[in-house]
Amino acid sequence: MLRVKRCKRILDDKWRLLNTERSMARYDHFLACEYGETLEVGPGSGFFTVLLQKERGVDDIVLLEKSHSCIKLLADMLKTNGISDVLVIEGDVNDTPFMGRCFDTIVCLEVLEHLINPYKALKEMARICRKDGNLYISCPIKGSMPPEIFSGHKQDFDFLELRTLIESTGWIVYKSFTDDTYQYFYSRRKC
């Protein structure tokens, strides 16, 4: 676990590629959502984490990242942007260290396609999310980033397949849509 500081800017040259209008626009709809106590699963470099704090002022956030190398990138991104009071935990979404019903919101952006067992991960997220809590998911559209080309990808979901998977694991999808590359799902935990 590590703790770091609070947000001022996203301007470091290393991250300039992520800070494009297209990247920002992709996350705009998630920034308009409700939060509360938040878990971000697989934050990677921390780009969305910085946006949550900078644009929304979400202070109560925990980051769960499995990759030790991503945690190093994440720590660098958070430090560069002056982010503090964020708890970073190295762990697996299939077996989290959290007691049940800890979070109001779970954010899972571009993670499910990397998992061997996304069903188990979604069930675990339902277990640790509070009653009427929210789950925000984005994932590449089937064929846009196939596993045979993107070596880190284990899954290639079509829209209906992913929606069905989400709903089979304790979530109700209340809003969903696609753009040219990604599919987006807003879900609420079933009681």
Got the DSSP string for 4-60? EE-------GGGTTTSSHHHHHHHHHHHTS--SSEEEE--TTSHHHHHIIIII----
**pLDDT computed for residue 22 by the predictor:** 56
pTM of the model: 0.87
**Which CATH number describes the domain made up of 2-189?**
3.40.50.150
82 secondary structure, DSSP code: T
CA dist., res. 178 & res. 140, Å (int):
9
CA dist., res. 152 & res. 149, Å (int):
9
- pLDDT in tens for each of the 191 residues of the chain? 333 332 233 434 444 444 455 566 677 888 888 899 999 999 998 989 998 988 888 989 999 999 999 999 999 999 999 887 789 999 999 999 998 899 999 999 999 999 999 999 999 999 999 999 999 999 999 999 988 988 899 999 999 999 999 999 999 999 999 988 999 999 999 87
**pLDDT computed for residue 190 by the predictor:** 86
**pLDDT computed for residue 23 by the predictor:** 61
